[in-house]
Structure 1
Amino acid sequence: MPLISVTDLRGRDLSAAQLRAAVPRPELDVDAAIASVHPVVAAVRERGAEAVLEAGERFDGVRPEHLRVPAEVIERALAELDPAIRRALETAIDRVRAVDAAQRREDDVVEVIDGGIVRQRWIPVERVGLYVPGGRAVLPSSVVMNVVPAQTAGVSQIVLASPPQKDHGGYPHPTILAACALLGVTDVIAAGGAQAIALLAHGADDLGDGTLLDPVDLVTGPGNVYVTAAKRLVRGTVGIDAEAGPTEIAILADESADPRFVAADLISQAEHDPLAASVLVTDSPRLAADTEAELAVQVPQARHADRIREALGGRQSGVILVDGLDQGLAVVNAYGAEHLEIHTVDAPAVAARVTNAGAIFIGPHSPVSLGDYAAGSNHVLPTGGGSRFGGGLGVQSFLRGIHVIEYDERALDASREAARTLAAAEDLPSHGRAVEIRFDGEGQSR
C-alpha cells in the first residue's frame, strides 16, 4: 500500500480557487477548539496564576511551586548545556542576527508639498510575550527565532513562556532555558498551552511567588490548535503574529530532482506531527514513483516512523501530478506553503515566479531543515495558505509604523480646497471648518 496518495491534475484547467480546493489540507477546526479553550482563558483572566497552575496540573501533569523560573535555574541550565548544543545555538543566533540586522527600518520622511511633511516613524513594541512549545519535541531553535528579531527591533521587555516539564522539576526544558540564557532573556514563565497565552495577554497580580506579571502588548510563537484558539480569543486585547497551524512542506520538482532528497525532505516535515503536511508537486511520473520507493526505504529507518506514516498517509499530504512547470507553479502559488522547495532545472528562475510561500528553498542543497536551524532565516512562518496575505516572523513583526504630520501655514493653505471639497462630499462639514477656521477672522493663524 502506498505511503502517500496521488492526485492527478494533468489535463485539467483549474482556477486558483479550484486549485486551492484540490490541494491537500489538514483538518484543523480552530472554532471547535475555542469551545474547550474559552473557559481556560476566562479563568486565567479572572483568577490569574492559580488558574494557570490548575490548568498546567491538568494538561501537563505537573504543578510548579510558582510560575516564574528563578534566575539560578536559568543560569544552571546554561552551565550544564552540552557544549556541542551550545555551539550550534550560538551559530543559529549569529546567523539569524546577521539576517535580521538588514531588516532594521529607518524613519521615512516625505515632503508632500512645500512646507508639508509626513514622517513614518518605526517604533518597537514595548513588551512582548514569546511562546515556545514543549510537547512532542524540545524546540530551543524557536527561542532563537522569536527572541532575536524582537531584540533586533529594539523591544525593551521580553517575557518567554514554555510548558513545565515533569522530568525537570516543573520548569521548562533545560535546553529551552539555556537558549534563553544565551540570549539574555531572564523573565521566563513555566506555562504552556492556552493558559500561557491567556497569562501573557492578561497578566497576573501574583505568580505564586509574590511577584506580578504585567500583560504584554504582542504575543508571538507557534503552538498547537489550542494555542491557536487562545490567540484568536485574546486578539484585540493584545496583538498576535499569526494563527499557526500544523507545519507543511511543498516541493516543486521535475525529472532532474533526486528522489532520495525529495523523500528525505518530505519525511523531515512529517516527523513533526501526525497532522504535518508533506506535498510533492511534479510533472514527472517517474520522479513520483521513485520518491514513493524512497519513502518505503527511508520511513522504516526513521526514529518516529509511526508518526511519519500517519502524516504522510493523512489527507493533508500527497503527490500532485501536473502537466508542466507552469501548472506546477499555479498549484504551489494556490497552496501557499509554509515551506516551499524548488528542485528543478534552473531552480532560481523558477523560484522567482513564486508569489505565495512562507519561505523558498532553492536547489538540492537548501533543505527546509537548514532553515529550521542554521540558514539565518526565520522558521516561524505562515501556514494553511496564510502566505497569500502574510509573511513570517521578523524584525518588522515587532515594529509599529506611526505617521507624524507637520504642515506649516502655507502648506495647509495649499491643501484647503482638497480638504474642504472632500469634507463636503462626505457630509462632514466640521472637518472642513476645522481647516478653514485657521484662515478667517480672529482665529487666523499669525
Structure 2
Amino acid sequence: MGDINLPEAVMQSFTSIGPMLDFIALFSVIAVYSGTLLPFVILFSFLLSYFTLYTVYSLSRLFITNGGYYSYVGHILGKDWGIFIFLIYFGYSVLTVPNIANFISGFASNILSIYNFNNNHFIYILILIFILLVYITVGSGIKKSIKYTFIAGILEISFIILLSIIFILTGRNSIGDYKINFHLNQFFFGIIFGILAFSGGGSSIFLSEKTNNARRNTPKSLFISFTISGIIMTISAFSLLYAIGDHGILEYSINSFYIVSFIKARYGPIFLMIFSFFGILSGFNLSVSYLNAFVHMFPRFQSDFGFNKYMGEKKLLFIMFIITSVISTSTTYIAGPFTSFVIIAGVISFFYIIIHIISNISLYKARRKNMIIPMISSILLTIAFIISFISNTGFFIVINYAVLVYLLISVISIIYIKRMKNTIYKKIKFEHLKV
C-alpha cells in the first residue's frame, strides 16, 4: 500500500462522479422528465447520496479491500450475496465506459454539425478514438493515470464553478417567472438519473489497497469528494435553470443537446469550444477513473474466487476494450447515441440502487448500532426504485426488461455455481480481507 495519497484518492472519486459531464448529459435527461424540478431533483439526489455514502464510508473503515462492495457484502452476508453483488457490479462497470462513449460521440457530432460537418459514419470513429484513449491512459499504469485524474479533476472543478458564476451573472430570467409544478412520478423518474449523477463517488474504495493509510484516507476521500461534487452540482443546476428559464427547459424536451445551441447563441463559438472541451474532458476523466477502479478490483476478485491462473492486466484491458467497443458501437447503431445513453444510464442506475440497498443490509448486520441512516437510505432507495420502475413506459420500458433479464441471469448463475460445490463455489472465500 502507499501509491495513492489523500488528494489523489479524492480526485479518483470526484472524477468518477464527473460533474461537468453530468451537467451536459444527465441534466438534459432529468430536464426532459422532471422539467423545472431539475435543481430540486439534483438537491434531493445529493442528500439521498449522503445516506448511501454513510454505508460505504462505514464499510471502508471496517475493511481495506480492492474488492469493494462485493467483498463487503460477501464477508458479512456470505458467498451467495457476495457473488450476486459482484455480478451486478460487473454489469455496472462493463456498461459505464460504453455509455459515456455513446454520449460523448453524440455530443461531439452535434457540435461538428453546427459547423456544417455531417457524416453519419464519423460518430463510430469518434467512439473508437475515445475508448482507445481511455484504455491507453489506464494502461500507462496507476501512478500516471492517477496523476492525470488529479490534474484534470482540478481543471474540471475550476471550470464548472466559473460556468455557474457566468450563468448567474448573465442570466436573463427572473426567478418569479418560473413555474414549479410538482408531480411525484416526474420527480422520482428524475431521481433515478439524479442518483446516477453521484453513483461513481465510491470508486476510491477499489484502490484502497494502494492508498496511504487507507483506513483513514479512503473514507475521508469519499466524504470530501461527495461534498465538493454535491455542492458544485446543486449550484450549477440552479444556475442553469436561472440562465435558460422555462423556455430552455422546454427546449430540452425537443433537443437533447440544447445546451450546445444555447451556449453558442449566448456566449459565442469560442466559449462553446471551451465548454465542449471541458465536457469531453469530464467524460474522459470519468471513464479513466471507472476503468481504473475495475482493473484494480479484478486481481482481488480472482483471488477471492480462487482462480488457479490469474489474468494479467494487459490481457484484461484488451478483452475489455473489445467488449466496450462492441457494446458502444452496436447500441449507437441500434438506438442512436443519446437514446442508447439514456437506456444504458437507466440500467446502470437501477444496478447502483440494488448494490446499495444490499450494502445497507450488510452494514446493519455487521454493526446493529446507530443504523437509522442505512435504514432511511434503504427505504428511500427502494421507493425511488419502485416508482422509477413503474414510471418507465413506452420505448424506455426496455430499461426494465434489461434489468430483469440481467437479474435473472445473475440468479441462475449463482444456482449453477452452487451446484459445482467441489470446484468454483468451494474455492470462493472472503475471509482474507485486511481487517
Higher share in strand: 1
Give the structure with higher Rg (CA): 1
Q: Same fold (TM over 0.5)?
A: no
TM-score by length of 1: 0.24
Higher relative contact order (CA 8 A, sep 6+): 2
TM-score by length of 2: 0.25
Higher share in helix: 2
